[in-house]
Amino acid sequence: MEFLDEELQQYAEEHTSPESELLHKINRQTHLNVMKPRMLSGHLQGRLLSMFSHMIRPNQILEVGTYTGYSALCLAEGLQEDGTLHTIDINEELEDVVRGYIKEAGLSESVKYYIGNALEIIPTIDATFDLVFIDADKYNYATYYDLVIDRVRAGGYIIADNVLWSGKVLEKYRKKLDEDTAALLDFNKKVQDDPRVENMLLPVRDGLMIARRK
């Protein structure tokens, strides 16, 4: 489901700061060569992630779900000079491509890229996070949230992507309640009911849940 009229989407992008040449390259190459290119954050959402990062000025960022590295590079734009972005993905087939983009961006010292199961890797990262971006398997969203919530500093943020799930969070837009949709419904309720955070569900692209740690 596309939530915004295609021409309005184009108008919004035309009135948004452009992607860098490298981000444009990643965008194009992902659509040409990688399965499920819709998973890419893309121009508008990427600029939003960059804007959040610049406002927060994080020292430690955690990203769960690297894909081809587009969102990681957007988030890294706001990093403090000595900051680190930790990004985790289970797909080792994209590792060489992603490491190439990280190197091309000049971020080899700032970005720590992990390949493996995020449920196992997150507890091994010795950091308190200023910003967490969750964009991985939907079934484990609530578990990722539980793993990081007490490791986010007061005033820090958790952002989760795809929380509208092409509209399927509403019964009228789905044929059946599948496992991923059920998981996202549970996740959205979990965040809404969590007294430790202030939150809003922002209907940008496929929906971003933004939670600020009190």
pLDDT digits (tens, 9 = 90+) for 113-172: 999 999 999 999 999 999 999 999 999 999 999 999 999 999 999 999 999 999 999 999
pLDDT higher than 80, residue 38: no
* Closest residue by Cα to residue 79 from 152, 131, 126, 16: 131
d(CA 78, CA 93): 28
Short-list 168, 209, 208, CA closest to 190: 209
- How far is the C-alpha of 93 from the C-alpha of 79, rounded, in Å? 27
Residue 212 pLDDT grade (very low, low, confident, very high; cuts 50, 70, 90): very high
- Domains in the chain, CATH or no CATH each: 6-213 (3.40.50.150)
Q: Quick one: CA dihedral 95, 55, 124, 196, positive or negative?
A: negative
Span 81-104, mean pLDDT? 96
